[in-house]
Structure 1
Amino acid sequence: MCGNNMSAPLPAIVPAARRATAAVIFLHGLGDTGHGWAEAFAGIRIPHVKYICPHAPTMPVSLNMRMSMPSWFDIHGLSPDAEEDEGGIKRASENIKALIDQEVKNGIPSDRIILGGFSQGGALSLYTALTTQQKLAGVVALSCWLPLRNSFPQASAINVNKDIALLQCHGDCDPLVPFMFGHQTAEKMKTLINPANVTFKSYRGLPHSACPEEMVDVKRFIEKQLPPISTE
Structure 2
Amino acid sequence: MCGNTMSAPLPAIVPAARKATAAVIFLHGLGDTGHGWAEAMASIKSPHVKYICPHAPIMPVSLNMNMAMPSWFDIIGLSPDAQEDEAGIKKAAENVKALIDQEVKNGIPSNRIILGGFSQGGALSLYTALTTQQKLGGVVALSCWLPLRSSFPQAAANSANKDVAVLQCHGESDPLVPLMFGTITSEKLKTIISPANVKFKTYSGLMHSSCNQEMTDIKQFIDKQLPPVN
- Give TM-score scaled by structure 2 length: 0.97
Aligned to 1:104: 104
**CA-CA distance at 1:38 after TM superposition:** 0.2
Aligned to 1:217: 217
Aligned to 2:122: 122
Gaps of 5+ in 2: none
The question of 1:12 aligning with 2:9 is answered: no
Distance 1:119 1:35 in 2: 16
Aligned to 1:61: 61
Aligned to 2:161: 161
Aligned to 1:89: 89
Q: Which amino acid aligns with 1:79?
A: S
**CA-CA distance at 1:154 after TM superposition:** 1.8
8 Å contact from structure 2 (residues 27, 116) kept in 1: yes
**CA-CA distance at 1:5 after TM superposition:** 4.3
**CA-CA distance at 1:101 after TM superposition:** 0.1
Moved more, 39-48 or 152-161: 152-161
Aligned to 1:30: 30
Distance 1:84 1:209 in 2: 23
Aligned to 2:173: 173
- Give TM-score scaled by structure 1 length: 0.96
Aligned to 1:43: 43
Q: Which amino acid aligns with 2:81?
A: D
Task: Name the % identity.
Answer: 80
**CA-CA distance at 1:166 after TM superposition:** 0.1
Distance 2:70 2:7 in 1: 10
8 Å contact from structure 1 (residues 156, 193) kept in 2: no
Distance 2:7 2:124 in 1: 17
**CA-CA distance at 1:155 after TM superposition:** 2.8
Q: Which amino acid aligns with 1:9?
A: P
Gaps of 5+ in 1: none
Q: Which amino acid aligns with 2:213?
A: E
2:32 partner SS = coil
8 Å contact from structure 2 (residues 131, 155) kept in 1: yes
State the Cα deviation string for residues 193-229 of structure 1 (Å, max 9, x = none).
Answer: 0100000000000000000100000000000000000
Distance 1:76 1:151 in 2: 18
State the Cα deviation string for residues 75-121 of structure 1 (Å, max 9, x = none).
Answer: 00000111100000000000000000000000000000000000000
Aligned to 2:74: 74
